């Protein structure tokens, strides 16, 4: 019975994680057009997007940490993992931005 409730708690946390992840991804995607219009260099896109999507990144980071804590991770392990995932998203969208510039 306890396992059932623990499983349900992880599913609920995962759902919150997905909403926060989607919000962050939508914000990053929106920055492609803004960066193009502002003629942001490809090398500066990650900094530009991090600043523009700071609120969404914070929400995503908090959701990732909460999920990991519920899964039994320590905060000391969960925080750098969340930061790494956010960094991966920024790097991925920076690559997409670079590709969009070279396609023109």
**Mind listing the pLDDT tens digit for each residue in 29-87?**
999 999 999 999 999 999 999 999 999 999 999 999 999 999 999 999 999 999 999 99
* pTM metric for this prediction: 0.81
In a domain, 7, yes or no: no
In a domain, 56, yes or no: yes
Q: How far is the CA of 68 from the CAs of 5, 6, 29, 60, 62, in angstroms?
A: 16, 13, 26, 12, 10
Q: How many domains does the chain have?
A: 1
Q: Per-residue confidence at 15, pLDDT binned at 50, 70, 90?
A: low
Q: Per-residue confidence at 14, pLDDT binned at 50, 70, 90?
A: low
pLDDT surpasses 60 at 20: yes
In a domain, 84, yes or no: yes
| Residue-number span of the structural domain to which 65 is assigned | 41-104
């Amino acid at each position: 019975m306890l396992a059932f409730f623990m499983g349900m708690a992880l599913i609920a946390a995962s759902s919150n994680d997905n909403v926060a992840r989607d919000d962050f991804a939508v914000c990053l995607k929106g920055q492609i057009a803004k960066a193009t219009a502002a003629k942001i260099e490809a090398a500066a896109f990650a900094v530009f997007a991090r600043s523009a999507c700071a609120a969404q990144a914070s929400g995503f980071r908090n959701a990732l940490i909460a999920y990991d804590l519920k899964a039994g991770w320590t905060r000391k392990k969960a925080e750098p993992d969340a930061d790494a995932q956010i960094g991966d998203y920024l790097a991925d969208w920076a690559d997409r931005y670079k590709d969009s510039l070279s396609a023109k």
